[in-house]
Amino acid sequence: MFTFLKALGKEIGSSRFEEDKVDLAKELLEKANEKGVEIVLPVDAIIAQKLEAGVEKKVVKIDDGIENGWMGLDIGPESIELFKDELNGAKTVVWNGPMGVFEIEDFATGTKEVAMMVADITEEGATTIIGGGDSAAAIELFGLERKVSHVSTGGGASLEFLEGKELPGIASIASKKKINSRKYILAGNWKMNKTNIEAAEFISKLTANIGKEKKFEVVIAPTFLALEKAVDLTTSTNIKVSAQNMYFEDSGAYTGEISADMLKAIGVEYVILGHSERRNIFGETDEIINKKIKKALEKGLTPIFCIGEKLEEREKDLTFNVIERQIKEGFNGLDKDEAKKMIIAYEPVWAIGTGKVATPEQAEEVHAYIRKLLSEIYDEETAESITILYGGSVKPNNYFGLFTKPNIDGGLVGGASLKESFIELADIMRDIIM
Ligand code: PGA
């Protein structure tokens, strides 16, 4: 407070003040004046020559000035009454900094009286926030910490928060996700990787580390050859198994293909359909993918339906057009109940296997668009219930930002699902979900 009094040109004797903040105090006083904001400063002080218990002390009016050799160590009785009057009837109080050297009883009266008043108005319904190590210690010393709304040892931090700045700790709490109506999923698309033995070894590692996951679903998609083994090794765990593809016919002369029944028969629950590698390397069209989706649903498999634009499409500003076409064709002929069984994976083709991940904002924009589209095709409730995963260069170092976005319900992970990093991704999700 003496910094402000100094800025006002008062004689403050040997009182402690912050010399480098006098100009700032002047500026604040001027601004307050311009804006008609009242700043109430103490009108009297308890002064002494030494900061010690039992020394001689005097009360002086600030306007009379404090002589050299004396310093202000507490506010005076008139200031106490003035502050109490100001506090009376206040609805919100942010208190940052004690009134005096409350650690020494001789100079604790001002702080104690104000603290008691703050407790009183809290009881009457005011919201009272005590910020800063000293103020928090004072409130505790007077046994009032349970009688105010909130006490934080962060002083500067709580003021910065009020200024509207982002505090990392608060931001990370604020970005927690609630368990909601739709499932969160971490899915690993192994593509053409791992022999049976390698798959079994890795699955054992996964079951030991994340086999009991409850907050979200873990899905692994090994090659067809390792599916049966994968189902066996995960039966008593919470890890589910997915195929990477299937054909839409039930059986017959389709050399090299696998049917939905075959997958069901060995206990597979999910199937990835329409992956961009299937579309672009193996020529799968929206129509073929739609047939596969219908067959999978008919047989009780959950499709993980992949969509996403190519780089040239994004560059031509066609992202939303491509997404709209893929969603409309993929969901073609599905009723609301069938739609609710779908999992969508938005995988921008330019981000798959390239190390070039979409920014959380880019991904969220498309996810929100997909959800809006679904609510137009079906209704909001259906759209809200469908899990939408992000895929494309997901790694432990970029996953937090993605998964904390409201419309991103998990990841479909390629490269990073083949090693320990998959466990790290699960750890990240577990920390984010409340
Ligand atoms: P990536 O693959 O994580 O290696 O980019 C993702 C995917 O193709 O599903």
Q: What number of other Cβ atoms are within 10 A of residue 201's Cβ?
A: 11
306 and 370 in contact (C-beta within 8 Å)? Answer: no
For residue 306, which phi and psi values (nearest 5 degrees)? Answer: -95, 135
**How far apart are the CA of 25 and the centre of ligand 1, in A?**
56
Q: Which residues line ligand 1 (CB under 6 A)?
A: 189, 347, 352-353, 391-394, 412-416
Pocket test for ligand 1, best of 185, 186, 220, 394 (most atoms within 8 A of CB): 394
Distance in angstroms (rounded) separating the CA atoms of residues 365 and 119: 46
Residue 393 CA, closest ligand 1 atom number = 5
* CATH 3.40.50.1260 correct for 2-166: yes
Q: Which residue has the tokens 């931001």?
A: 171
Residue 417 CA, closest ligand 1 atom number = 3
For residue 53, which phi and psi values (nearest 5 degrees)? Answer: -70, 145
Q: What number of other Cβ atoms are within 10 A of residue 186's Cβ?
A: 28
pLDDT score, position 177: 81
- Residues of the chain with pLDDT below 50 are none
- Return the structure tokens found at 67: 């002589």
**How far apart are the CA of 395 and the centre of ligand 1, in A?**
10
Q: Any idea where the domains of the chain sit in the sequence?
A: 2-166, 185-432
Q: Whose CA is nearest to atom 1 of ligand 1?
A: 414
Residue 353 CA, closest ligand 1 atom number = 5
Say if residue 249 is exposed, middle or buried (CB neighbours under 10 Å; 0-12, 13-18, 19+). Answer: middle
SS3 384: helix
Q: Whose CA is nearest to atom 6 of ligand 1?
A: 414
Distance in angstroms (rounded) separating the CA atoms of residues 140 and 1: 22
pLDDT score, position 181: 74
Distance in angstroms (rounded) separating the CA atoms of residues 390 and 308: 10
Known catalytic residue at 347? yes
Pocket test for ligand 1, best of 185, 186, 189 (most atoms within 8 A of CB): 189
Q: What number of other Cβ atoms are within 10 A of residue 153's Cβ?
A: 14
Q: Whose CA is nearest to atom 7 of ligand 1?
A: 414
**How far apart are the CA of 177 and the centre of ligand 1, in A?**
24
**Annotated catalytic residue within 113, 217, 277, 347:** 347
- Return the structure tokens found at 241: 């198994």
Angle, helices 133-141 vs 109-123, to 10°: value is 80
Distance in angstroms (rounded) separating the CA atoms of residues 372 and 352: 24
Distance in angstroms (rounded) separating the CA atoms of residues 75 and 122: 22
**How far apart are the CA of 154 and the centre of ligand 1, in A?**
42
Pocket test for ligand 1, best of 242, 398, 413 (most atoms within 8 A of CB): 413
User: How big, in percent rounded to 5, are the helix, strand and coil portions of the chain?
Assistant: 45, 15, 40
Give the gyration radius of the chain's Cα atoms. Answer: 33
Residue 392 CA, closest ligand 1 atom number = 5
List the end-to-end C-alpha distance of the chain, in Å, as a whole number. Answer: 43
185-432 topology per CATH: TIM Barrel (3.20.20)
**How far apart are the CA of 259 and the centre of ligand 1, in A?**
24
**How far apart are the CA of 7 and the centre of ligand 1, in A?**
62
SS3 286: helix
Rounded to whole angstroms, what are the CA distances from 111 to 49, 114, 125?
Answer: 20, 5, 21
pLDDT score, position 171: 65
Distance in angstroms (rounded) separating the CA atoms of residues 248 and 292: 4
Distance in angstroms (rounded) separating the CA atoms of residues 112 and 242: 66
Residue type, 315: E
Note the pTM of the prediction, 2 decimals. Answer: 0.66
**How far apart are the CA of 392 and the centre of ligand 1, in A?**
5
- Return the structure tokens found at 173: 């709490």
User: Which bin fits 13, alpha (ψ -120 to 50), beta or left (φ > 0)?
Assistant: left
**Annotated catalytic residue within 113, 217, 275, 284:** 275
**How far apart are the CA of 279 and the centre of ligand 1, in A?**
14
Distance in angstroms (rounded) separating the CA atoms of residues 84 and 101: 19
Known catalytic residue at 150? no
Distance in angstroms (rounded) separating the CA atoms of residues 322 and 27: 55
- Return the structure tokens found at 246: 């299937």
- Return the structure tokens found at 280: 């672009």
DSSP 8-state symbol, 166: P
Angle, helices 421-432 vs 196-210, to 10°: value is 30
81 and 40 in contact (C-beta within 8 Å)? Answer: no
